Structure 1
Amino acid sequence: MNKTLCALALLSLVLCNPIQAQKTKKKKSKETTESVSKPKSNNGIKPYTKVITKEAVSDEGVFTIHRIAEDYFYEIPFEQLNKDMLWVSRIAQLQNGLGGGYVNAGSKTNEQVVHWVRFRDKILLKSKSFVNVADSTKAISNSVKVNNYEPTLHAFDIKAFNADSSAVVIDVTKFFTSDIAAISGLSARLRKDYKVKKLDGSRSFINSIKSFPQNVEVKQDFTYDASEPPSFRSTQSISIQMNQSMILLPEDPMQPRIYDPRVGFFTVSQYDYGSEALKADRKTYIRRWRLEPKNPEAYARGELVEPIKPIVYYLDPGTPENLQSYIKQGIEDWQKPFETAGFKNAIIAKDVPTKEEDPEFSPEDIRYSVVRYVASTTRNAVGPSVSDPRSGEIIESDIIWYHNHLRSYRNRYLLETGAANPSARTLNTSEEEIGEMMRMVIAHEVGHALGFPHNMAASYAYPVDSLRNGAFTQKNGIAASIMDYARYNYIAQPGDENIRFVRQMGPYDHYAVNWGYRWLSAENADAERPTLNSWVLEKADDPKYKFGRQTSRFDPQSQTECIGDDPIKASTYGLKNLKYVAANLPSWTSDVTNDYQDLEELYGELLGVYSRYAGHVTNTVGGVFENIKTPEQEGPVYSNFNAAGQKQAIKWLHANIFETPEWLLDKAILQNIDHAGYFEKVRRLQVRQLNSLLSFERLGRLIDAESLNESYYSAMEMLVDLRNGLWKETLRGTSVDLYRRNLQRSYVDRMAYLMTEEQQPNRFGRPGFEGQIAYNTKSSDVRALVRGELKALKTKLKSAKNGSINRETRYHYEDVIARIDAIFEAG
């Protein structure tokens, strides 16, 4: 009876207070969703004080970290579950030689978004992707979710709850001392190269775990058993220290800025399945730092305003003292472009704080961006960054400078400017000049870290002869952007005065920073587009503001290491200078040092410079200009390089590359740097351009030009011009020297390649402009043209081998005829 009365009373209470019942139900549901409630059964879960004992050393932050002896525990507040966090894995220290030169302290090995999820009595660490998205209020978001299931990196048993059940405790020791692929510093390739067997647990441990208000930083020491380590071979081991950074992504993502391919930016992309378009709509945003004015009203009035949070770069404490000021200048050179965008003091260079100033500072801490100075023989510098995939906001970046890169710039300075620049004619380049070069390299790499890719069209903006004008170069530099690979002014000639030889910031850099970083008080990203488009249209007809993709290998105006608006004229000037340098190379090097080492190194690099100049000309043959436009702009996106220019390029290549370059065959150099291999050095240079001309891709573009019924330089015309020049001895009845015989045989080998091989498809894509550059070689004109050319050549050879030529030439012609016959038999 009592039980019945109690039941009736309870029912009456619920019926009389339905609102309270709903609240209770809602609260219970919320607790279940957020996984706050304790489980009914312990399942191994212990009281907090039994897990986090008095011996624990604790560090509070976004998570509270507890260390007990060698074990580490995360105390994760329930409010931090299901939040997006950026996880970045970096190498903190590494063994010499690991990765072959381009892996170093500070190298990022992985970047991913994760979140921590409660599942029953476990906490799951899950990797999360934003590639496929949909508005959560739309039904299709359910399909996106189930078709993009998130992989679980690790499952942690819940060890305890804190006293007020607002946080959960897990043991992360095993996770951070295991070989977890997703956060490892050794890729599958490196494991294969060094024959890595396994992680040695007895020599692997957690170095430290530190918690900060927004991030957690973990240092791990790993030692692997490896049969063929890159160094310390006798140890059969690879040791590496990793840093794992985990930082909360902003609760309120930065408003993204929609990418426009007419302005160069690195990007992040998403496929929006909730779009009104009849497809998964690809949305691409630029990558940039979040700069917002402290005083929006003053900013709106056109005043220069400091950002709420400036971009700060710290100098590696290992940076040589004499170079520190140049690195700082290279960083802060970007202050002027940011002023164009309305911000002052937007980017700042600082020294690393001392232990007394900040004992917790670490270069691997994801809160800090660092210019790292790497003690390595690698000759390079890079500017990577990490960003929020939801919006493109750059969170952090490290600039990497490899020590030996200084030597590369000294050598290039001597080789490319030595003819017109007396101060470059030495191995002991002044510290001021080296510093200026380094400053500009750092500025270039900082540009990458700000979101800018290479702009290879910037060097095409200035007329070639303007680069011989001192006043012009001092004001404008040698390219319209620091983001081009336009390192030195190789066009200026001896006698030209007041020339600037080293690159500098240009007008495009101001334009791009303003386009990407100017703060707009628009409601959303789409609302910004009319303004952004108007800025592009204002500059559309000015070559100084053109963006050219590095991947446009077909575009003569977007070539790496090329300067000036006429590649043929520029390379003519450059080659003239290079001949002057080659003639003086011994007197500038070995005659001074009484050693041939520098002479050998510089001669080898001189061959590379020569090859680049030739390549700039080669790329005009079958060249197609890419001028990215929208339909409201006049003219086509793609147009062919003029036919007369292409024909001139073939003529230039015959005169300057395929004719034996006697100026390179200086006995004073060759006989003092090697005992043999002289003819092979020349053959490799020539064949590189020959094979580039005789490529499926280039021949296909020449055939395409014919199909458009334009004024064109046909594939047949190019092949005939090439054959007539390479085999001109057959027309003159003269003997062929050693170097020409090598080149001619290489020509036949390449024609055989075109007859027998298939073109491999290459995909060059970017949002809105994607295409498959490939065609069916069997059904195209390529093999018919090649067969015809080989037959014509065979006829000439049969006649020429009976003329008044030496025995080597006769044997050579007979050999080539036999090779052609073999090609026909195989085909």
Structure 2
Amino acid sequence: MQSHLCILAVLGHFLLLAVPAAAQTPALSASGGGLLAAAAREDEKSFDEVVRGYRASQGLFTVYTNLEENRVLIEIAPEQFERLFLCNVTLEAGDGLYFDSGAMLDNFPFIFKRVGKRIQLIHKNVYYRAETGTPIGRAVERAVSSSIVGSAKIESRPHPERKSVLVDLSSFFVQDYAGVANALGRHKIDFVFDRSESYLGPVSAFPLNVEIEAVLHFKNNRPRGTDGRIADGRSMQHRYRYSLSTLSEGGGSYRPRPADDRVGHFLTLHQDYTDPTAETPYVRYINRWHLEKADPSAALSPPRQPIVFWLERTVPLEYREAVREGVLLWNRAFEGIGIEGALEVRQQPDDAEWDPADVRYNTVRWIVNPGGAYAVGPARANPFTGQIYDADIRISADLVRYLVREREDYVIPLAGPAALTPLLTRLPVSQLCQFQAGLASEAAFGWSVLAARLGGLDPTAREAQAYIHDAIRALVAHEVGHTLGLRHNFRASAAHAHAHLHDRSRTQKTGVSASVMDYNPVNLAPRGKPQGEFWNSGLGEYDYWAIAYAYKPFEAIEESAGLARIAERNLPYGTDEDAFGFDARGIDPVTSPFDLGSDPIRFYRERIEMAGELLATAERGYLRKGERYQKMRRLFSQALRAHATAAASVPKFVGGLYHRRHHRGDAGDQLPFEPVSAARQREALAFLGRYIFGAGAFAFSPSLLNQLPPERFEDFSNTPFYTARIDYPVHDQVLDIQKRALGRLYHPIALHRLADLPLHYAKGQPRFTLADMFSSVRSAIWEEVTRHQSISSFRRNLQRAHLAQLLTLAGPNPQAALWSALGIAAASGASAPPEDAASLARADLTALHTQIRRALAKGKLDALTRAHLDASLARITELIEPASGRSGD
């Protein structure tokens, strides 16, 4: 991921930005000499006096270290004041509980500015610009504000010859720069930054960069359990790496490449006020590495300088080959544009002295963050050109554990496929990735299904090792794609016909999905059918296309036309702000995470049938003698997860619009929007009616439910003592699944879109309306009432949830009521539901009022059904007949 942490359209404060080539200069001014001389005072110590006893290291800046005093000074020369540099911030070592190690935080341009006897380190605002020296340029300069990151007093008189001054680095960098205390405070965790016990670690100077380590201490006077990952809950330490470097200009030959919204790349952007008549004030460059052919005339040439990834010595030996393959997979795409060996993989020796956090090394790192099943692959780019110059992929050691089993089932089992995310990230939302957590759940589900079919699966067996190997390779390929500048593509998985998913002769050429940048699930064959590839073994067609747009060599004169020809192919592409996860803002039902094939409804149908197969196998004796029953609880949660994902995804067809990023005249000349056909929407509702809402959707045997104990072993947090329910909360979990579907169908945004949908259909084309949705859902959920039958406990819960939706829609303040009922925040774009929805809700309530009265009068109902219907009738009556009260039977 240029990460990711596998979601959405708004760009954050620290997004890397770009300027025209004419403005690519690292020096804003060279001021400072006169001010330095003027400020010198006789009572200040001389330069040599201050650094006496210090060890000097020369580089981009000269730094002086005194180990006895634990003090580091930096020398700033006159020509280095008000000159642009870059600062990269990395969380080099976290605490193993709240924050992981190796997290890339910020990348920002800065200057040193002298103000009297102090030096300020200023984050320079380069996000709004205009041509230097023009009136509008001066106006922009006055209008935008830069930010002070740190301030330090001058420690000496200027050097007598160099005129440089000294400042203490700790004043700049020993601070809670990343906002750890605030991040934890939002979670009611009371750690505060402790300046007195924080200090600078090793500082190294190199010709193009200076590496600064800061060891920060956080204390907590009200500690809570820490899972043993923090030795003492009152204290934790972090290590941060600050890399100060020059601005790379790509050797003089790098040209920023303009972005195109038809292809998915991370962007560097700024607003340019120079030309007020421009179509857009934004200048957008894609983020990419500086790759050039060594021999531009050759059809296939190695690069002048390859992209080198080092496998850190922390990567376990047994996974290094899978990681290597995942990185090198991308060479196929570069070969397609004439660059051979664009990426290289090298192994860090065990005795290497260089630090993987050094900005000069791109690494794949294994980290330990117990309970965190994730991987991220961010990259840093020049804020003026978009040129990527540093990338580090980190993979949680626990992720491999979860490839073959679900997480320990202490929490609600359906917390979601991507519930574990680092608390601290400064990445823009467009760069967050949660593929790894979902992949872990998918892999665990696939492992359980295969184990059930085979009567067990030995993790040491060749086939099992290949399964894990291929999953890691797919994960690494996804993350490397991010480091190459590629964004997610959630439409790619729908590019291939469902019938071809297990045809190895096809998938080995085109991939299981059209892109490794999708959140691709494990590709499981239905029982009795040949099994194809579980994971993408190669790149998809989209990946070749996106790499060609970013990296194909062009002469300057032909670049614009060449890029247009590539983009016009318009392969299926939809990213985070198109999918919005499972949020109601996502309108395209084939732009979703964790589906596969051109028919998502069929995919989810097969998944739920596999979940049923898994539970049926469990009934026949999944456990071997001596195995613990806790394994059954994890398996049961895996089966329910298949229903949960379907319940969140399939409702996207109802009121859905297929969304394309086409430009006029592109291949096929299709319009950006196409309404989902009425037949397809009815198919989706039929699916929900059977597999999510249906009376037989959740039928579990007593024997199975009596085999679902939680873990009873003690752990570092005494979790068994805090478990709310020892028995499995089966009704709660099923209702949670059903509410996912209801919440999507009745979300105000979805209702508004469904109200608009008839306007999108061509004349004579069958239409699907709000009225169709309301009547279909009511008929599916209240079927027993029309048949005068007793109602099961699962269905009673579902009917209460549906009734609550209708009552809030038809009530006096449906907007606030729905927000509360659905857990919708105003930030998600929620609005008052359409008036027609309120009218239809009232019509549904009126129909139910009549049907329930008849069922109570004529049906042979059990006591619980009668009580449930009587209570439902009372609630409806209170709304539709408030004056007269409940009418007689």
State the TM-score bracket (shorter-chain normalisation). Answer: 0.7 to 0.9
More divergent stretch after superposition (271-280 vs 200-209): 271-280
Contact 2:587–2:656 (8 Å) recurs in 1 = yes
Q: 1:455 aligns with which of 462, 486, 489?
A: 489
Matches within 5 A, 1:106-117: 106-117=102-113
| Structure 1 Cα separation of the partners of residues 882 and 396 of structure 2 | 50
| Structure 2 Cα separation of the partners of residues 157 and 210 of structure 1 | 22
Match of residue 189 from structure 1:
183
| Structure 2 Cα separation of the partners of residues 37 and 390 of structure 1 | 29
Q: For residues 371-416 of structure 1, what are the alpha-carbon distances to aligned partners after superposition, in whole Å with 9 as ceiling and x for unaligned?
A: 1211222112111222222122222122121112123332434634
Q: For residues 130-178 of structure 1, what are the alpha-carbon distances to aligned partners after superposition, in whole Å with 9 as ceiling and x for unaligned?
A: 211111142211111111122222333332333422533222233333x
Amino acid at match of 1:620: F
Match of residue 734 from structure 1:
789
Q: For residues 496-554 of structure 1, what are the alpha-carbon distances to aligned partners after superposition, in whole Å with 9 as ceiling and x for unaligned?
A: 3351122232121111111111122216xxx73332111122x23x55x7878443721
Amino acid at match of 2:556: A
Give yes or no for the alignment of 1:56 onto 2:54. Answer: yes
Q: As a proportion of its length, which structure holds more helix?
A: 1
Amino acid at match of 2:469: G
Relative distance call for 1:546 and 1:471 in structure 2 (3 A) is farther
Match of residue 247 from structure 2:
249
Relative distance call for 1:312 and 1:417 in structure 2 (3 A) is same
| Structure 2 Cα separation of the partners of residues 130 and 704 of structure 1 | 42
More divergent stretch after superposition (200-209 vs 545-554): 545-554
Match of residue 807 from structure 2:
752
Contact 1:410–1:427 (8 Å) recurs in 2 = no
**Structure whose alpha-carbon radius of gyration is higher:** 1
Relative distance call for 1:589 and 1:408 in structure 2 (3 A) is farther
Query: How far apart are 1:738 and its partner, in Å?
Result: 1.3
Match of residue 440 from structure 1:
474
SS of structure 2 residue aligned to 1:161? coil
| Structure 1 Cα separation of the partners of residues 383 and 699 of structure 2 | 52
Matches within 5 A, 1:361-376: 361-376=354-369
Q: 1:651 aligns with which of 686, 693, 698?
A: 686
Query: How far apart are 1:637 and its partner, in Å?
Result: 0.5
Query: How far apart are 1:678 and its partner, in Å?
Result: 2.5
Q: For residues 60-113 of structure 1, what are the alpha-carbon distances to aligned partners after superposition, in whole Å with 9 as ceiling and x for unaligned?
A: 110011013322111123333333222122222222312xxxx31111333322
Contact 1:683–1:743 (8 Å) recurs in 2 = yes
SS of structure 2 residue aligned to 1:639? strand
Match of residue 170 from structure 2:
173
SS of structure 2 residue aligned to 1:619? helix
Relative distance call for 1:272 and 1:486 in structure 2 (3 A) is same
| Structure 2 Cα separation of the partners of residues 402 and 773 of structure 1 | 30
Match of residue 400 from structure 2:
406
Q: 1:660 aligns with which of 677, 685, 695?
A: 695
Relative distance call for 1:278 and 1:198 in structure 2 (3 A) is same
| Structure 2 Cα separation of the partners of residues 635 and 268 of structure 1 | 29
| Structure 2 Cα separation of the partners of residues 197 and 380 of structure 1 | 24
Match of residue 635 from structure 1:
670
Contact 1:83–1:248 (8 Å) recurs in 2 = no
Query: How far apart are 1:340 and its partner, in Å?
Result: 1.6
| Structure 1 Cα separation of the partners of residues 834 and 579 of structure 2 | 31
Query: How far apart are 1:574 and its partner, in Å?
Result: 2.4
Match of residue 321 from structure 2:
325
Contact 1:335–1:347 (8 Å) recurs in 2 = yes
Matches within 5 A, 1:814-825: 814-824=870-880
Query: How far apart are 1:444 and its partner, in Å?
Result: 0.7
Matches within 5 A, 1:579-658: 579-585=612-618, 589-591=622-624, 594-633=627-666, 634-658=669-693
More divergent stretch after superposition (34-43 vs 88-97): 34-43
Q: For residues 723-744 of structure 1, what are the alpha-carbon distances to aligned partners after superposition, in whole Å with 9 as ceiling and x for unaligned?
A: 1111111221111111111110
| Structure 1 Cα separation of the partners of residues 853 and 636 of structure 2 | 40
Contact 2:260–2:567 (8 Å) recurs in 1 = no
Match of residue 598 from structure 2:
565
Percent identity at matched positions?
A: 24
Give yes or no for the alignment of 1:311 onto 2:307. Answer: yes
| Structure 1 Cα separation of the partners of residues 277 and 454 of structure 2 | 61
Q: 1:157 aligns with which of 146, 153, 157?
A: 153
Amino acid at match of 1:433: Y
Give yes or no for the alignment of 1:218 onto 2:212. Answer: yes
Contact 1:89–1:185 (8 Å) recurs in 2 = no
Match of residue 133 from structure 1:
129
Contact 2:77–2:163 (8 Å) recurs in 1 = yes
| Structure 1 Cα separation of the partners of residues 291 and 454 of structure 2 | 42
Amino acid at match of 1:322: E
Matches within 5 A, 1:10-409: 33=31, 35=33, 38-43=36-41, 45-53=44-52, 55-68=53-66, 69-98=69-98, 103-158=99-154, 159-165=156-162, 167-177=164-174, 179=175, 181=176, 183-184=177-178, 186-193=180-187, 195-196=189-190, 198-229=192-223, 231=226, 232=230, 236-251=234-249, 254-277=254-277, 281-298=281-298, 303-355=299-351, 359=353, 361-376=354-369, 377-409=371-403
Higher RCO structure (Cα 8 Å, ≥6 apart): 2
Relative distance call for 1:821 and 1:761 in structure 2 (3 A) is closer
Amino acid at match of 1:570: F
Amino acid at match of 2:836: D
Match of residue 811 from structure 1:
867
Q: Which consecutive unaligned segments of at least 5 residues does structure 1 have?
A: 1-29, 763-771
Amino acid at match of 2:650: V
Q: Root-mean-square deviation (CA), in Å? A: 2.9
Query: How far apart are 1:34 and its partner, in Å?
Result: 5.0
| Structure 1 Cα separation of the partners of residues 776 and 30 of structure 2 | 79
Query: How far apart are 1:592 and its partner, in Å?
Result: 5.9
Matches within 5 A, 1:664-683: 665-674=700-709, 675-683=727-735
SS of structure 1 residue aligned to 2:359? coil
Match of residue 554 from structure 2:
520
Matches within 5 A, 1:497-516: 497=530, 499-504=532-537, 505-516=539-550
Relative distance call for 1:774 and 1:351 in structure 2 (3 A) is closer
Give yes or no for the alignment of 1:531 onto 2:562. Answer: yes
Q: For residues 296-315 of structure 1, what are the alpha-carbon distances to aligned partners after superposition, in whole Å with 9 as ceiling and x for unaligned?
A: 333xxxx2222233212222
Contact 2:675–2:761 (8 Å) recurs in 1 = no
Amino acid at match of 1:404: D
Q: Which consecutive unaligned segments of at least 5 residues does structure 2 have?
A: 1-27, 406-441, 710-726, 820-826, 884-889
Query: How far apart are 1:354 and its partner, in Å?
Result: 4.7
More divergent stretch after superposition (645-654 vs 84-93): 84-93
| Structure 1 Cα separation of the partners of residues 778 and 332 of structure 2 | 53
Q: 1:496 aligns with which of 507, 529, 538?
A: 529
Match of residue 750 from structure 2:
698
Amino acid at match of 2:281: D
Query: How far apart are 1:213 and its partner, in Å?
Result: 1.3
Query: How far apart are 1:267 and its partner, in Å?
Result: 1.3
Q: For residues 316-342 of structure 1, what are the alpha-carbon distances to aligned partners after superposition, in whole Å with 9 as ceiling and x for unaligned?
A: 222211111111111111111121232
Relative distance call for 1:825 and 1:188 in structure 2 (3 A) is farther
SS of structure 2 residue aligned to 1:268? strand
Relative distance call for 1:321 and 1:306 in structure 2 (3 A) is same
SS of structure 2 residue aligned to 1:814? helix
In the alignment of these two chains, the number of paired residues is 767
| Structure 2 Cα separation of the partners of residues 208 and 341 of structure 1 | 43
